Amino acid sequence: MRLPIFLDTDPGIDDAVAIAAAIFAPELDLQLMTTVAGNVSVEKTTRNALQLLHFWNAEIPLAQGAAVPLVRAPRDAASVHGESGMAGYDFVEHNRKPLGIPAFLAIRDALMRAPEPVTLVAIGPLTNIALLLSQCPECKPHIRRLVIMGGSAGRGNCTPNAEFN
């Protein structure tokens, strides 16, 4: 049985690889993607995610999420990922559009419809997840597991750049 997951992401180059892994891993069932500002603006991360889904011919719904963090000034990693977030890679034009609701509400709706608890995988800033958990506490029992890319236990990556998310 495949593990149902929702992927919350800020696609720059690194997340493009993770998205491909989530789409093509036979043990995963990627059911929803959401974007958040991080590596670049949320408009750019959303465009990148839609372009990647089109590139891989993946019919996965996508919702645009938070444009700014909840508790600090926004910052990005355009110096690492390029102005577009994808180091200037030019994708083929497409007509894909995001869902018409904010990411945290798309996650809420999909969780409440899911026949079993879903694993949330957050590989960008956690703004959408914070909004979901604070604004929609009824969703908590529908979350099987929350997996994040960030943090360290004890010593290790503790600089602002190492802990960008």
Model confidence pLDDT, tens digit, residues 31-43: 999 999 987 889 9
**Containing domain of residue 100, as a range?**
3-148
Query: Could you tell me if residue 153 is inside a domain?
Result: no
Lateral strand order in the sheet of 118-122? 62-64, 28-35, 3-9, 118-122, 143-148
| φ, ψ at 33 (rounded to 5°) | -120, 145
User: Is the model's pLDDT at 152 over the cut of 70?
Assistant: no
Query: Could you tell me if residue 156 is inside a domain?
Result: no
pLDDT, tens only, 93-138 = 889 999 999 999 999 999 999 999 999 999 999 999 999 999 999 9
Three-state SS string across 108-154, please?
A: HHHHHHCCCCEEEEECCCCHHHHHHHHHCHHHHHHEEEEEECCCCCC
Query: Could you tell me if residue 63 is inside a domain?
Result: yes
Q: Which has the higher per-residue pLDDT, 120 or 79? A: 120
User: Is the model's pLDDT at 3 over the cut of 60?
Assistant: yes
Q: Which residues pair with 122 in a beta bridge?
A: 8, 148
CB 47 within 8 A of CB 10: no
Residue 150's CB: how many other CB atoms inside 10 A? 14
Q: What percent of the chain has pLDDT over 90?
A: 67
CATH of the domain at 26: 3.90.245.10
Mean pLDDT of the residues in the chain: 88
pLDDT of residue 77: 64
Query: Could you tell me if residue 164 is inside a domain?
Result: no
Task: Report residue 28 CA to chain centroid gap.
Answer: 16
Query: Could you tell me if residue 141 is inside a domain?
Result: yes
Residue 107's CB: how many other CB atoms inside 10 A? 28
